[in-house]
Structure 1
Amino acid sequence: MEPLTVGVEEEFLLVEAETGNLSWEGPALLRAASGSDGDLQPELTRCQVESATPVCTTATEVLENLRELRGTLAEHARRRGLRLIATGTAPLHEPAPPRLTENPRYRRISEHAGALATASPCCGCHIHVGVPDREVAVQVVNHLRPWLPVLLALSVNSPFSGGADTGYESWRSLSWSQWPSAGPPPYSDSHAAYEESVRELLDSGAAMDRAMIYWDVRLSDEWPTVELRVCDVMPTASEATLLAVLARALVARAVESEEPAPRLSHHALRSALWRAARDGISGQGYDLRTGRLVPMSELVEQLVDWTAPELEQFGDLGFVRSTVPRLSQLGSGALRQRRAFAEGGWKGLVDKLSEQTEEIT
């Protein structure tokens, strides 16, 4: 099989360099950066900015593009007395709710969703993987469902919100799941069945439009891809690349599979996602095959072993075999945030987040 295409979207927060509080200068920063290379975009709130890599076929391409995009945004932030930080939620207590970006669609979302749109901003890492057609894409979604908790556990990077430790490794995933069109997707026997689930969300008003289908993995309406949306934004570009190549390998295995995906209950999958958000990679995970709690590290090993043939075929196995142990040694993004806070308070945390965001090693 030829390597499937892959692209990565990352959402970031902008904070004041002196205080660490959210800045509302996202649109102004993007206007200033408009002549730069790369796809840089606004987000729902003015304290967020988003970057998107071009279509890539190798891990090296993904990594180089992520580093360049992060560097561009961080440089423009510094020029305005700001910092770019990769974290799933805003860690500090904010004196006022987030301000919406001036955009007709964002205004409609705010009117439609109410306080959900003005709650603390959430930043994720979204991975697009090319697929042959939409019927195949639906089967890929079915096959990815069991692995969503493991991918979330690898990405946990949001333990703090509003000036408090939430007790979770990924508060973003819990906060984001309040949207009625978010969470794990249903199992679909066909593309028609998938579309029926989409229509139910639209007809009920749970989703204002198709772009508001916020499932953890979904079919993209804009591109011929499956889009994985379950992950927190990663602390570093290399860790985001790890997610990208694992997602691509999972998709490739699903495309070639002649076996049906397991019909996991929605309740079991939500339970496993909750556990992953609570414990991350260093605690317990819910094994959906056995219905038992096991160390999440074992489930990560299963994921790597399951995708090893595709990773090797695409030239990514060495990168994954070296990056996963490094992540285990350093600890999750959430663990590093807690460690930075314990050592240096809120300033130390913001310093660490800013430093990691631009890390190039």
Structure 2
Amino acid sequence: MATHDSTALALGVEEEFLLVDPKGRLVDQGPETAERGIAAVDGDPDLKPELLRAMVESATGICRSAHQVVEELTELRGALAGAAREQGALLVATGTAPHQQPDFTQAGPGARYRRITAHVGEFMFSGMTCGCHVHVGVEDTAAALRAANHLRLWLPALITVCANSPFHDGRDTGYASTRHLLWERWPSAGPPPYLDSVEQYEELVEGLLATGAILDRKMVYFDVRPSEDQPTVETRISDVAPTPREAALLAVLIRSIVAEALDSERDFPRVPTQIVRAAQWRAAKDGWGAVVPDPLSDGYRPAPQIFADLVARHAPALRRSGELELVRSTLSSLAETGDGATRQRAAGLDGVVAMLAAQTEGTRVCGSRSP
């Protein structure tokens, strides 16, 4: 039983979205959608263009509960969906664009995005993906690396929670998370190695920069890493979630894993990075329900069973914080409806854009009740 109160750790969630027309073709309204979305929300919402003009990103503030994550993501999605509609576009939460695309080569605004686009080349446009990044507050970089050493064992299981990209280029790829495979093409992507110190991490980053494959520190795209901008450990393994509730579930699961890492005094297993990567491939293929390595044993089990045990260990704290019902009900809904990939396949290529748009816009009024 964990003694660290996982609910005391702060959370933040970033989401990336695609903008498409009703036929699923990418449209270049990202900067305008972000600008209009900002005007539609009180305060200073974190909405901004992304690497390509057909994308837009949102980020919560510092959240103290899963309920706050749901509320903020619901508001931000609603603002972006409304802004997109005003320009004849649809906001969709999917890891990859389902339909075959005409040539799209429009980078987002800003000198850095233009530099990255010129540096990486054509595959940037053929492999456009949208993810969900979860930040958990930690004391310092050393604590973030300790959490990352534990989280790297959970990465295959975490892929399954929001697997949400079965279609790409007009075809069913056979994978629940096509995004995962496309994202792995980046030279600094994938699971990080086990790291023993901040100094070792800095040597690794400097080595990546020296290769010339990455242009700056923010291009260290490990699936879990210390954030460059804030005192958090950032987990970047997931497709963008179909709904705010599923994003909040993912955040709570990651927060619980981080709490266990910070609570433990033992060293975590030094599983070879290639083994972690292979298990991630299996999880991306099968999605929710995939059989993956159990981070706390030597065996393999279905991901839902592993997460049920994780939630049970943290149930007292989650009950005190009022989050337990949300977590359990969202897990139950996943068991009933399947992951986002399952729901996309049920809609089919002909109906998936309408389904995704309705799913995103449905959060504008009352949030997402099912996953």
Alpha-carbon distance change, 136 to 288 in structure 1, aligned in 2, over 3 angstroms: closer
Match of 1:14 in 2: 19
Matched ranges for 1:139-178 at <5 A: 139-178=146-185
**Which range is displaced more, 104-113 or 329-338?**
104-113
**What's the offset of the Cα at 1:196?**
1.5
Aligned counterpart in structure 1 of residue 259 of structure 2, from 240, 252, 265? 252
Match of 1:351 in 2: 354
Aligned counterpart in structure 2 of residue 221 of structure 1, from 220, 228, 231? 228
Distance in 2 between residues matched to 1:102 and 1:62, nearest whole Å: 28
Question: Structure 1 counterpart of 2:198, which letter?
Answer: H
Aligned counterpart in structure 2 of residue 88 of structure 1, from 70, 86, 95? 95
Alpha-carbon distance change, 287 to 58 in structure 1, aligned in 2, over 3 angstroms: closer
SS at match of 2:57: strand
**What's the offset of the Cα at 1:285?**
2.6
SS at match of 2:194: coil
Alpha-carbon distance change, 195 to 116 in structure 1, aligned in 2, over 3 angstroms: farther
Question: Structure 2 counterpart of 1:23, which letter?
Answer: V
SS at match of 2:64: coil
Residue deviations 1:252-293, cap 9 Å, x none? 221121121211111110011001000011343344666655
Aligned counterpart in structure 2 of residue 204 of structure 1, from 207, 211, 215? 211
Residue deviations 1:205-253, cap 9 Å, x none? 2221100010001101101111110000010111111111111111122
Question: Structure 2 counterpart of 1:30, which letter?
Answer: A
Distance in 2 between residues matched to 1:82 and 1:115, nearest whole Å: 24
Aligned counterpart in structure 2 of residue 28 of structure 1, from 27, 32, 55? 32
Distance in 2 between residues matched to 1:50 and 1:253, nearest whole Å: 30
**What's the offset of the Cα at 1:155?**
1.1
**What's the offset of the Cα at 1:321?**
1.6
Aligned counterpart in structure 1 of residue 278 of structure 2, from 262, 271, 276? 271
Alignment root-mean-square deviation, CA: 1.8
**What's the offset of the Cα at 1:177?**
0.4
Residue deviations 1:14-44, cap 9 Å, x none? 1113x22111111122233342332101101
Match of 2:60 in 1: 53
In 1, are the aligned partners of 2:164 and 2:239 still within 8 Å (CA)? Answer: yes
Match of 1:104 in 2: 111
In 2, are the aligned partners of 1:98 and 1:120 still within 8 Å (CA)? Answer: no
Question: Structure 2 counterpart of 1:248, which letter?
Answer: R
**Which range is displaced more, 291-300 or 91-100?**
291-300
Question: Structure 1 counterpart of 2:13, which letter?
Answer: V
The answer on 1:77 being equivalent to 2:84 is: yes
**What's the offset of the Cα at 1:194?**
1.5
Question: Structure 1 counterpart of 2:56, which letter?
Answer: V
Distance in 2 between residues matched to 1:291 and 1:116, nearest whole Å: 38
Alpha-carbon distance change, 258 to 293 in structure 1, aligned in 2, over 3 angstroms: closer
In 1, are the aligned partners of 2:24 and 2:97 still within 8 Å (CA)? Answer: no
Question: Structure 2 counterpart of 1:207, which letter?
Answer: I
In 2, are the aligned partners of 1:88 and 1:157 still within 8 Å (CA)? Answer: yes
SS at match of 1:242: helix
In 2, are the aligned partners of 1:144 and 1:251 still within 8 Å (CA)? Answer: yes
Residue deviations 1:108-132, cap 9 Å, x none? 1112212232223100000111101
Distance in 1 between residues matched to 2:147 and 2:20, nearest whole Å: 38
**What's the offset of the Cα at 1:82?**
1.1
Question: Structure 1 counterpart of 2:35, which letter?
Answer: R
Alpha-carbon distance change, 289 to 57 in structure 1, aligned in 2, over 3 angstroms: closer
Distance in 2 between residues matched to 1:226 and 1:201, nearest whole Å: 20
Count the aligned residue pairs. 356
SS at match of 2:118: helix
Distance in 2 between residues matched to 1:307 and 1:185, nearest whole Å: 26
Residue deviations 1:85-115, cap 9 Å, x none? 0000000001113421132111111122122
**What's the offset of the Cα at 1:314?**
4.2
Question: Structure 2 counterpart of 1:91, which letter?
Answer: P
Match of 2:122 in 1: 115
In 1, are the aligned partners of 2:31 and 2:108 still within 8 Å (CA)? Answer: yes
Alpha-carbon distance change, 74 to 138 in structure 1, aligned in 2, over 3 angstroms: same
RCO higher in 1 or 2 (8 Å CA, sep ≥ 6)? Answer: 2
**What's the offset of the Cα at 1:320?**
1.3
Question: What is the TM-score when the length of structure 2 is the normalising length?
Answer: 0.91
Alpha-carbon distance change, 83 to 121 in structure 1, aligned in 2, over 3 angstroms: same
Alpha-carbon distance change, 310 to 274 in structure 1, aligned in 2, over 3 angstroms: farther
Alpha-carbon distance change, 80 to 131 in structure 1, aligned in 2, over 3 angstroms: same
Match of 2:142 in 1: 135
Gap runs ≥5 in structure 2? none
Question: What is the TM-score when the length of structure 1 is the normalising length?
Answer: 0.94
The answer on 1:239 being equivalent to 2:243 is: no
The answer on 1:189 being equivalent to 2:196 is: yes
